[in-house]
Structure 1
C-alpha cells in the first residue's frame, strides 16, 4: 500500500512510530553494549581474584592437584603452569586437558587477559582467560577463566528492552495520532463550512479558532479569500447588469427604428434610416471595443516594453486628436518611462477626451518628474490632465472609475461616453506599475497619472 493512501493522521502516526521505534532500538543497542562492557569488566575482576587466590597457594607451596574447592561465588576453571611450561595443577573440569591459553603476561606486567574460544573447556562457548605470573623458584603462570557474557548480558534485560520499545513506540504513535486528530478538528470544521458555502452562498465564513496558530491563520486567509471572491462576484453581477442595461438602450433604439420601417416599407428612406441607426451601432461598437480592451488589460501586463518619452507621446497623441476646445500643453522633455506605447497613448487619449467632454473652454495637459517619493524610489513621472468644468465631488472620485458609472450632474449619454474610458485608463496605469487618481483643484477635475521613471 502506498503511503499516499494513508490519511494525514495515519502518516504522522506511522512516521512517529517508526522514528521512535528506531531511536528506541538504537538506545537499547547502545545500552546493551554499555551493560555488556561493564559486566565483562566485573567478570574479569572476579576471574582475576580467583587467579590471585590460586597464586597465594603457589607462593606458600601449598599447591595440590586437583586444586582445592573455592567458595561457590568464585568457582572458575583454573590451571597452574610451572616454569617448564607443564600443567601441574588444575580444577576438576580441566584435569588432563591441555593449556587453556597460550599467551602470558609481558614483562614488566604481571597479568594479561584475552577471550579464548575452543573446545577444551567444559562448554563450547568462549571464555575470558586471565594469565598471572607468580615467582617461586622461577616464573609460574596461573590461568583462570570464566564463560564470556553474551551480547544481551542477561535475557531479562533484553526482554525488558524489547517489551519497553514496543510499548513505548505504540504509546507515542497513538499519542501522535490523537494529537493530530485534535489539531485537525478545526480543519475539518473549515472544510465542512467551505463545502457548505460552495453549495449555498458566499455570505457565510469559516470558523476561526481561538488559538492563534497555523490553523488560525489558515481560517483568516480562507475568510479573506471568500471576501475577495464575494467582492469579485458582486462586481461581475453588477458589471453584467450595467453592461446589459448599456447594450439594451442602443439595441432597443435599433429595433424600434427597424420595426417602424417594416410597418411602412414603401415610405422608408434608406439614407434616413441608416443615419438614424448608425449612432446606435457606433455606440454598440464602442461598448464592445472597450470591453475587449478591459479584458486584454486584465489578462496580463503589457507585452511590448520600450522606453517612452512622455512629453513626446502626449504631443503626438494631441496632434492626432480632434480637439473640441482649447488644449494647453506644459510638457517637460526627458521624462522617460518603460511601457507599451499604444496602451499609454490610449491612456492619454481617454483622459483628454473625458476632460474635453466636461470642460467649459480649456484643457491643460502637464508632464513633469518628481524625485524623493517613497512609493517610487527611482523617481516618478507625472501626467496631469486638468479641465475647467464643474469638477467631481470628493466622495464621488472613486465612483467614476467603476465600469459604466455616471455622475448625475456631470455625465449623460448625450455627452457621448459609455462609462468605460476612465476604468480603462486606470487599468493601463496600474498595469505599468503606476496609479491614476483624482486630486484637488481650484476648478474642474484634475486627473493625475503617476508612473515609475525609467533611467
Structure 2
C-alpha cells in the first residue's frame, strides 16, 4: 500500500506533487492546531465550570458555617441550581437538593487542611448512570466537627461543544484546499519560464541549432539557469563548428598526400618499364611522411582532449628544453639562454613535445637564428599570464618574416596556416601549434604569439607555466 502511494505520487507532475505535499502539510498543521485548541478550550471550560460548581456549594457552606439551618437547604438562586449535598462529620447526608434526596453521598472526597476545597470527577454512582460529573467538596468548620458540602455538574466533554469541532473541521478543509491550490498556482507560475525553456530547447534540437532559450528578466534561479543553458549552447555550437571544420580540414590534409601518391603510382603503372623503383619510392615517401605526421598529430590531439598522459612530477624546464634539441640536425643556429632550476609540475614527455614543436616551427621559418630562453619571473601579474607562486617562462623566437598581429591567435587553430612565408610550402601541416597550446593549457599555463623583442624581428612565442615552488623557496 505504501509503495503504491509512493508510485502514484512519483507519477505526478512537479506542480501536483508540491500541491499534494503542501496540502498534506497544512492538513497536519491544522490537526495539531485543532488538537491543541480543543485541549485549551476544554481546560478553560472545565476551570469555568469548577468555579460555577464551587459557587453553588458556597451558599450552603456559608449558612452551615454560621450555624444556620442546613435542612432543608437554603434557597438557591435559579442560576446556581446544581446537585448539592451536606454531609455531617459522621458521613451522613443531612441535607440535599431535590434530585438527590434519599441518596448516599456523591463522593467520599474530603479536603485536607489547609485546603478548604477539593475537586474530583465521579462517573456513574448516584448522579447519573453512564455520565461523568465534576464534584467540588468544601470543608466547613462547625462546633461539632468538620462538615462537607458537595456540589456537582456534568463534566465538559473533550469537544466542549458540538459546533467547535465542526468549525475546526470546516476550517481545516478550507485551509488545506486553499494551500494546495495556492501552491499549485504559484509553482505553475514559477515553472512557466522552465516550460518556455523546454519548448525552445525542443525547437533548437529539432530545427534551429543556433537558437537560444529565453532568459526571464527577474533575476531568479531560472534566470541564471537559462543563462547557463545559453552559455552551454554557445559552447556546443562552437564545438560543433570546430568539429565540422576540423573534419573538413583533416580530410583535406589526408586527401592531398593520398592524391599525390595515387598520381605517382598510376604514372608508374602506365609506364612500368620506364619506372625506377628507387625513384618512385623517393617520390612517394614524402607523401607517406606527411600522412604519418598528420595521423600522429591527430592521435596526440585525441590524447590531449581526453586528458591522457603520465603523472605530474617536478620538471626542470631548462633540462626539458635541452633534451628537445638533442638528436637532431639543425639547419639554423640555435642560441640557448637556459636558466637552471626553473621547476614546474608537469609531464616530461609532453613538455618535451611542446618545446620540440615550437622549435620545429621556428626552424621552418627562421632565416638564420633561433633563440631559446628559459627564465623565472616572480613579478608578472596574473592578468599578464603570471601566477601567484611565480612564473616559469620559455621563449622561442626566430628571425624570419614574423606573424601579422591580426593572425597571432588564428595560427593556434587546427590545420590553420598563413598565406605568407609561414605556409604549407614550409613543411608544416597545421597541428604543431594547436598541440603545443593544448599541452600548455593541460599544465595550467598558456602559450601565445607576441610582438618580437625591441630591436628584433620575426616570430616570438611565449610559454607561461606556474612554478612548482612558491617565491619563498627560490
Q: TM-score by structure 2 length?
A: 0.92
Structure 1 match to 2:420: 409
Bigger shift: residues 17-26 or 112-121: 112-121
Of 344-353 and 97-106, deviating more is 97-106
Match of 2:50 among 35, 44, 47: 44
How far apart are 1:363 and its partner, in Å? Answer: 0.6
What is the aligned partner in structure 1 of residue 370 from structure 2? 363
Q: Which residue matches 2:472?
A: none
Greater shift, 291-300 or 96-105, is seen at: 96-105
For the 8 Å contact 2:400–2:458, the answer to whether it is kept is yes
Indicate the residue corresponding to 1:254 in structure 2.
Answer: 261
Question: Which of 261, 269, 284 is 2:276 aligned to?
Answer: 269
Cα separation, 1, equivalents of 2:153 and 2:416 = 103
Deviations 1:250-306 (A, max 9, x none): 111111112212222232222211111111111011001001100100101643222
From 366, 371, 392, the counterpart of 1:381:
392
User: Residue 287 of structure 1 aligns to a residue in which SS?
Assistant: helix
Aligned runs of 1:34-433 on 2, under 5 Å? 34-58=40-64, 59=66, 61-65=68-72, 67=73, 70-137=76-143, 138-300=145-307, 302-375=309-382, 376-433=387-444
Gaps of 5+ in 1: none
CA distance in 2, matches of 1:69, 1:174: 61
Query: 1:341 Cα deviation (Å)?
Result: 0.8
Which whole-Å CA distance do the structure 2 matches of 1:435 and 1:394 have between them? 18
After TM superposition, the runs of 4+ consecutive aligned structure 1 residues lying more than 3 A away are 67-73, 372-375
CA RMSD of aligned residues (A): 1.6
Q: CA deviation at 1:225?
A: 1.0
Contact 2:294 2:429 in 1 (8 A): yes
Q: Offset of 1:394 from its aligned partner?
A: 1.5
SS of aligned partner of 1:126 = strand
Shift of 1:410: 2.9
* Structure 1 position 374, deviation (Å): 4.6
Q: Which runs of 5+ in 2 are unaligned?
A: 470-474
Q: For residue 56 of structure 1, report the CA deviation from its aligned partner.
A: 2.9
Superposition deviation, residue 129 in structure 1: 1.3
TM-score by length of structure 1 reads: 0.96
Please, which moves more after superposition, 311-320 or 259-268? 259-268
1:84 deviation in Å? 2.0
Structure 1 range deviating more: 388-397 or 43-52: 388-397
Q: For 1:374 and 1:118, locate their aligned partners in 2 and report how far apart those are by CA, in whole Å.
A: 94
Tell whether the 8 Å contact from 1:384 to 1:448 is kept in structure 2 after alignment: yes
Distance 1:322 1:96, change over 3 A: farther
